[in-house]
């Protein structure tokens, strides 16, 4: 009987079975068997039969040539990548449908083609005619990019080996089909096999490959986590389709920092770099109750964004906690500290928090801004001195005991706030702003009229 070319491997314990089972015979886990291509013969060569070792080389003696990066012509993308695309590297770009992944990669290939580099666009989701329609509204270089519409992995690899482009985009990795596997394209086994084969070709032929990937309902990159370990760089393309702003973040980067982020604006003629995003957000900020400007850091670049909060009496038990652009679990922590150490009762109120503009903030330095916005909304009073003409700005991390903790790059945050004329900036002690050691100190500065009333009641 002919031996099958595939094997089903348990993702939990590594047990192998020739056929799929609902439950792994090795460890008992359910739905953990994944189809993979069977490895070829692993017989040892005579030279290695005796287990001959290798002579280690000191790292100081290892030759590490400088790699000339390929510039995409999109400054924000090149900065997130660490200075451009490294030849032979594999980059995974993940994002929600319609967010602009294909537009971004089309623009990058167009700029590379205009600079004289060989490019290739592999579309597994659209025909070449559909790709041309999108490229027609982008800069002229996008129409010079060679493209194929193919989902068969063998055909794609043969094309790569024959054309040997400098940069190739595969849109998307979930659509390619490895014929030796019986699973549907996009399944765990298929994605793992496809990614592994493409990475091998990219390294062998020194082809820089940009893999476009889907995301799950939770926002994580679809497919097995091993896909992220196979590639050299993972970029997350975030934003809301109803809004114009998009953010590119580096989740993993073997050739650069993971602290960088690029900001774009989606327009009719493609994505446009937003070099001064703070100006866009600060102009829309007001001194209304529940509004505060957060001095955040996007990688090494300061960014001012408006945080808004709304607090209303609740008829539900427990009350609602709705948040957009901020971690929900982090919001629960901030509200608990605000209630316990700030004296703002929220147990019977619905709380809504929104980071304006579709921006997502993940750093702990946003804690204080969120707390002040909620306190302002709950008290129905604007933040800052009554005579102030500009919105109040804030940053800092909240501790569980009510203290304000230091966060990175305070001088850059303060300089960005002063650049736009923000008069009052509340920051942790030692940051050279309106220093506050605790949350209660910050509330005293942010809501001075309420502090005066409380002292008057205490004196009476």
What is the full per-residue pLDDT of the chain (460 aa) written as tens digits? 445 678 888 877 778 888 888 898 888 888 888 887 775 544 444 444 455 788 999 999 988 777 789 999 999 999 999 999 999 999 999 888 888 999 999 999 999 999 999 999 999 999 999 999 999 999 889 999 999 999 999 999 999 999 999 999 999 898 999 888 877 888 777 888 899 999 999 999 999 999 998 776 555 555 556 678 889 999 988 887 777 888 898 989 999 888 888 889 888 888 999 888 888 888 888 889 999 999 999 877 899 999 999 999 999 889 999 999 999 999 999 999 999 999 999 999 999 999 988 788 988 999 999 999 999 999 999 998 888 888 999 999 999 999 999 999 999 999 999 999 998 999 998 887 678 999 999 999 999 876 545 554 444 4
Nearest to 405 by CA among 427, 428, 436: 428
Residue 171 within any structural domain of the chain: yes
The confidence score (pLDDT) of residue 217 equals 57
**Residue 427 belongs to what domain range?**
278-459
User: Looking at the structure, do residues 248 and 293 belong to the same domain, yes or no?
Assistant: no
User: Looking at the structure, do residues 347 and 394 belong to the same domain, yes or no?
Assistant: yes
Bridge partners (DSSP) listed for residue 210: 91, 169
Residue 51 within any structural domain of the chain: no
Final residue of a structural domain among 219, 245, 275: 275
**Other residues' Cβ atoms within 10 Å of the Cβ of residue 290:** 25
User: Looking at the structure, do residues 266 and 306 belong to the same domain, yes or no?
Assistant: no
Residue 441 within any structural domain of the chain: yes
Final residue of a structural domain among 250, 275, 300: 275
| This prediction's pTM | 0.77
User: Looking at the structure, do residues 241 and 345 belong to the same domain, yes or no?
Assistant: no
User: Looking at the structure, do residues 174 and 288 belong to the same domain, yes or no?
Assistant: no
Q: ∠ CA 105-362-213 to the nearest 5 degrees?
A: 30
3-class DSSP state of 174? helix
The confidence score (pLDDT) of residue 387 equals 84
Residue 397 within any structural domain of the chain: yes
**Other residues' Cβ atoms within 10 Å of the Cβ of residue 197:** 17
User: Looking at the structure, do residues 149 and 248 belong to the same domain, yes or no?
Assistant: yes
User: Looking at the structure, do residues 326 and 206 belong to the same domain, yes or no?
Assistant: no
**Other residues' Cβ atoms within 10 Å of the Cβ of residue 285:** 23
Residue 356 within any structural domain of the chain: yes
Residue 120 within any structural domain of the chain: yes
Provide the token pair at 157: 């690899």
CA distance 331 to 265: 28
Sign of CA dihedral 125, 131, 134, 135: positive
User: Looking at the structure, do residues 320 and 397 belong to the same domain, yes or no?
Assistant: yes
Q: Do 284 and 356 form a contact (C-beta atoms < 8 A)?
A: yes
Residue 134 within any structural domain of the chain: yes
Final residue of a structural domain among 242, 275, 308: 275
Angle between helices 439-446 and 328-342 (to 10 degrees): 80
The confidence score (pLDDT) of residue 218 equals 56
The DSSP letter of residue 380 is T
CA distance 361 to 364: 9
Half-sphere exposure of 9 (CA within 13 A, CB side): 13
User: Looking at the structure, do residues 84 and 208 belong to the same domain, yes or no?
Assistant: yes
**Residue 420 sits in a domain of what CATH number?**
3.30.230.10
453 CB contacts (<8 Å, ≥6 apart)? none
CA-atom Rg of the chain in angstroms: 27
The confidence score (pLDDT) of residue 454 equals 52
- Number of domains composing the chain: 3
User: Looking at the structure, do residues 237 and 339 belong to the same domain, yes or no?
Assistant: no
User: Looking at the structure, do residues 131 and 261 belong to the same domain, yes or no?
Assistant: yes
3-class DSSP state of 85? strand
Residue 444 within any structural domain of the chain: yes
**Residue 149 sits in a domain of what CATH number?**
3.40.50.300
User: Looking at the structure, do residues 409 and 422 belong to the same domain, yes or no?
Assistant: yes
């Amino acid at each position: 009987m002919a031996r099958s070319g595939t094997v089903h491997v348990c993702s939990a314990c590594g047990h192998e079975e020739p056929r799929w089972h609902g439950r792994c015979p090795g460890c008992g886990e359910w739905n953990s068997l994944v189809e993979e291509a069977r490895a070829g013969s692993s017989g040892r060569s005579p030279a290695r039969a005796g287990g001959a070792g290798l002579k280690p080389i000191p790292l100081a003696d290892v030759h590490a040539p400088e790699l000339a990066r390929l510039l995409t012509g999109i400054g924000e993308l090149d900065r997130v990548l660490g200075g451009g695309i490294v030849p032979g590297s594999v980059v995974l770009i993940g994002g929600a449908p319609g967010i602009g992944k294909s537009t971004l990669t089309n623009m990058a290939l167009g700029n590379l083609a205009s600079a004289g580099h060989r490019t290739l666009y592999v579309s597994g989701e659209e025909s070449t005619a559909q790709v041309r329609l999108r490229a027609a509204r982008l800069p002229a270089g996008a129409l010079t990019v060679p493209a194929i519409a193919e989902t068969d992995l063998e055909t794609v690899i043969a094309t790569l080996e024959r054309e040997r482009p400098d940069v190739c985009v595969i849109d998307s990795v979930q659509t390619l089909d490895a014929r030796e596997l019986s699973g549907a394209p996009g399944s765990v086994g298929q994605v793992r096999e496809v990614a592994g084969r493409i990475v091998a070709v990219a390294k062998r032929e020194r082809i820089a490959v940009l893999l476009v990937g889907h995301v799950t309902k939770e926002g994580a990159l679809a497919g097995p986590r091993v896909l992220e370990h196979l590639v050299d760089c993972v970029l997350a393309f975030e934003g809301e389709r109803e809004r114009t702003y998009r953010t590119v973040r580096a989740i993993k980067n073997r050739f650069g920092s993971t602290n960088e982020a690029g900001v774009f604006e989606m327009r009719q003629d493609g994505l446009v770099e937003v070099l001064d995003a703070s100006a866009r957000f600060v102009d829309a900020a007001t001194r209304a109750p529940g509004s505060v400007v957060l001095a955040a850091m996007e990688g090494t670049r300061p960014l001012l964004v408006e945080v808004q909060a709304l607090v209303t009496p609740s008829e539900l038990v427990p009350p609602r906690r709705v948040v957009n652009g901020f971690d929900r679990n982090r919001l629960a922590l901030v509200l608990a500290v605000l209630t316990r150490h700030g004296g703002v009762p929220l147990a019977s109120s619905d709380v809504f928090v929104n980071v304006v503009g579709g921006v997502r903030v993940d750093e702990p330095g946003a804690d204080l801004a969120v707390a002040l916005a909620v306190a302002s909304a709950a008290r129905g009073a604007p933040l800052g001195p009554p005579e102030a003409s500009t919105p109040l700005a804030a940053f800092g991390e909240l501790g569980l005991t009510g203290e304000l903790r230091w966060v990175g790059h305070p001088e850059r945050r303060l300089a960005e706030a002063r650049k736009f004329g923000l008069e009052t900036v509340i920051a942790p002690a030692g940051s050279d702003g309106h220093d506050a050691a605790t949350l209660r100190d910050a509330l005293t500065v942010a809501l001075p009229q309420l502090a005066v009333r409380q002292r008057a009641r205490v004196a009476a």
